[in-house]
Amino acid sequence: MKKYFLSIALMVCILQTYADEGMWLPLLLGKQVYNDMVKKGLKLKADQLYSINHSSIKDAIIIFGGGCTGEIVSDQGLIFTNHHCGYDAIANASTVEHNYLHDGFFAKDKSAEIQSKLTVRFLNRIEDVTDRVMKELGNTSGMERAQKLIALQSAMVKEVTNGDEFKAAVVASFFKGNQYFLFVYDVYKDVRLVGNPPESIGKFGGDTDNWEWPRHTGDFSVFRVYMSQDGKPANYSTTNVPLKPKYYLPVSIKGFKDGDFCMLFGYPGGTNRYETSYGVALSTEINNPTLVKLRDMRLKYMFEEMKKDPAVKLQLASSYASIANYWKFYDGETKQLLKYDVFGQKQKAEQNFMAWAKGKTAYENIFTDYGKNYNEWRPYAMQAVYMREGIMGSPLLAYAASWNSLEQLLSSKDATKEAIEKAITHAKETRNNFLKEENKKSDQNILASVLMMFNTDIPKNQQPAGFYENLLKQCNSIEESPYKRYATDVFENTMAFDENKWNKFISNPTVAALQADPAYTTVMAFITNWKNNYASKQQVFINTNNDLGRLYMKGLFEADPIKMKNTYSDANFTMRVTYGNVKSYKPKDAVTYDDVCTLSGVVAKYVAGDYEFDLPAKFLDLYKAKDFGQYEDAQHKDIVVTFITTTDITGGNSGSPVMNANGELIGLAFDGNYEALSHKLAFDKDLNRTICVDVRYVLWCIDKLGGAKHIVDELKLVK
């Protein structure tokens, strides 16, 4: 492996042919990328973006919760992020009597802010650890390399965090395992809900408008991070004080115009833009359609119950939103991959590589090996999706699967009484959480359907031995579906819902009692079948793909070092910066989409009482009165609700700050557009857009609609 490939210079890139593609590590922007940003309009110095010596924009950017981005916007630790990022916390704070999800909420002062279970992470430092990792891994491959890497990553994280619950670290792979960086974070665990708009604004348009432009969603929520009185991260305490941040973003209400420069910091979750044609084919033909089919079924039964009862809607709201989001994404991804023949594009690139690799022993058989690996895995790929999205898509079965660790403990001769008691205590807590979130009616229908679909779609020789024979024998009724009867039996007889059975079990836990439970025996039939026969095949497929991907990437750099030096690593939930312009676009012949949507467009979509397009009465009154205040856009004589940019994002960027040339906040990224949903695998230079909520709409909702001007007064407004 050539040294130039592993050097940091690899990451100090010049601009791609299309400037807006790219998720750049801000630590390693390099002069040429920075110069291009300046050429496009950036007014800041490089060390104002990222610096280890003084405060910079990177210090205002946080990992919010488990998979979103947020930004600090005041000197009192105020956080802006998306509504859908705070959704679970808002739902957990809500009751039927005080339904903050439905009605909205803004704390009248700091004492009224609501405790959450959220954490936020601030990036502390980055270290290139490539040499250490490569030395430890040596020439290993396959499972040996995977296991060594996991052990090494764990050891390095422990070295850094040293048991400190307020430290976190990640050893992240770049360029498919050819480079590694250590990211160290400060963790803050006292995060409180400050405010959110009503769901009719925060989710306006619902599933109909999801991933679509034009878009009129007020996708924002407001939180605050607290620290101990001596200025350190701390668990929740009434004595804690608002965080004094190293840096916070000023907020611009000056507006912008089509073509203006913008940039975005955040934590994109994952892309795979060097995926092979084999991977694209597997996604479009098996993985994506199977996932969409199973999620469609789950959503159907959940929605049936949610629309009947406000309490059920609140109970299932967070789960439903999460399932629905990527149901539509993967449906759209498949359509775009096929429409733009990404498979053919990949094949062409691979043919060029193979022509270069001919006669080069290290590389000439890569795609022969890729083909063999995919062909060996392909027969089992659908079952893998069924296990994840179907069998474990039933909340009851997913919960019952957690009993397996208890069974193993009870079966062990070495298990101590203390260990068993601890496991039982954990089982009690897990059950309480499960029952709080469980809707039996929808779940029972999900179980019946997934059992039927598994039997129909998965080859008989891959099914759990004897399971369906016994099911059909016991529940073979002409009058009704045997799958419904079976699911009814499971729900009526599992100890998960029966207090007497449960109390009897925890007072005298036995393996026999677990193995007699119908929910447990059902899920373990599928899990055991998977573990014994297919899990190892999947692991071989993954490890082989990783080995081939690492080698393919190395070969690409050797084949065209100048071109490849001008690229960036796939997203992996590490801090990145992307830049471009506010920009309109033409999605198809004779159609042009403007760069902004306005309040007038929201009202035009309004349908009284509709599940997705209703609006609060006060909202309509404010609009009729044209009470826009200082948030009115001078060009449109209206409130700009959302806008689009050419920046390159993916999942994880939700909540990312969109900034103007001066580093001032102008909006929050929250979605991509349907025409470019192939972006995880292939960036589209013409159609890719980031959908953002305008910060002026955020402030109008807080101030005018929410009556919380004191929150706006915290901000450093640029007028």
State residue 31's pLDDT score.
79
115 belongs to a structural domain: yes
| 215 within some domain | yes
- The set of residues, in sequence order, having a beta carbon less than 8 Å from that of 73 and lying 6+ positions away, is 60, 79, 80, 248, 249, 251, 665, 714, 715
Q: CA 580 to CA 671: how far, in whole Å? A: 16
CA quadruple 548, 553, 554, 558: dihedral, nearest 10? 130
Strand partners, 71: 61, 80
Half-sphere exposure of residue 118: CA atoms within 13 angstroms, side-chain side: 33
Q: Would you give the distance in Å from CA 644 to the centre of its chain?
A: 20
pLDDT in tens, 426-469: 999 999 999 999 999 999 999 999 999 999 999 999 999 999 99
Q: What pLDDT is attached to residue 30?
A: 76
The residue ranges of the chain whose pLDDT is under 50 are 1-19
Q: Please tell me the distance from the alpha carbon of residue 292 to that of residue 302, in angstroms, as a whole number.
A: 15
Residue 702 lies in a domain: yes
Tell me the two tokens of residue 713: 């007064």
Residue 542 falls within a domain, yes or no? no
Task: Indicate if 654 belongs to the active site.
Answer: yes
**Strand-strand pairing, 251-252 and 717-718:** parallel
- Pair of tokens at residue 46: 């490089």
pLDDT, position 4: 34
Contact 718, 709 (CB under 8 A): no
The answer as to whether 45 is a domain residue is yes
Q: Which of 572, 530, 552 is nearest to 381 (CA)?
A: 530
Q: Measure CA 124 to chain center.
A: 22
pTM here?
0.91
Domain count across the chain:
1
- Which residue out of 221, 442, 654, 656 is catalytically annotated? 654
Cα separation of 692 and 698, whole Å? 11
Q: Please tell me the predicted confidence (pLDDT) of residue 523.
A: 98
Specify the CATH number for the domain of residue 645: 2.40.10.120
Query: Which pLDDT belongs to residue 473?
Result: 87
Q: Which helix (H) or strand (E) holds 535?
A: helix 535-559
Question: Residue 641 domain-assigned?
Answer: yes
Whether the upstream peptide bond of residue 561 has omega within 30° of 0, thus cis, is no
User: Does residue 410 fall inside a structural domain?
Assistant: no
Which pLDDT score, from 0 to 100, does residue 697 have?
98
Rounded CA gap, 570 and 567, in Å? 10
Residue 646's domain comprises 3-119+189-272+570-718
Residue 238 burial class via C-beta count within 10 angstroms: exposed 0-12, middle 13-18, buried 19 and up: exposed
Of 88, 186, 209, 219, the catalytic one is 219
**What is the CB neighbour count within 10 angstroms for residue 466?**
10
Query: What pLDDT, on a 0 to 100 scale, did the predictor assign at position 322?
Result: 86
The predicted structure's pLDDT at residue 496: 97
Quickly list H helices, 105-175: 130-137, 142-161
Nearest Cα to Cα of residue 363 among 549, 193, 494 = 549
Is-catalytic flag, 283?
no
pLDDT at 474: 83
Burial class (CB in 10 A: 0-12, 13-18, 19+), 83: buried
For residue 482, tell me if it sits in a domain. Answer: no
Question: Can you give the pLDDT at residue 476?
Answer: 76
SS3 labels along 363-420: CCCHHHHHHHHHHHHHHHHHHHHHHHHHHHHCHHHHHHHCCHHHHHHHHCCCCCHHHH
Is residue 655 within 8 A of residue 632, CB to CB? The reply is: no
- Could you identify the residue written with the tokens 């950017």? 61
Instruction: Respond yes or no: is residue 426 known to be catalytic.
Output: no
Out of 84, 570, 694, 703, which one is annotated catalytic?
A: 84
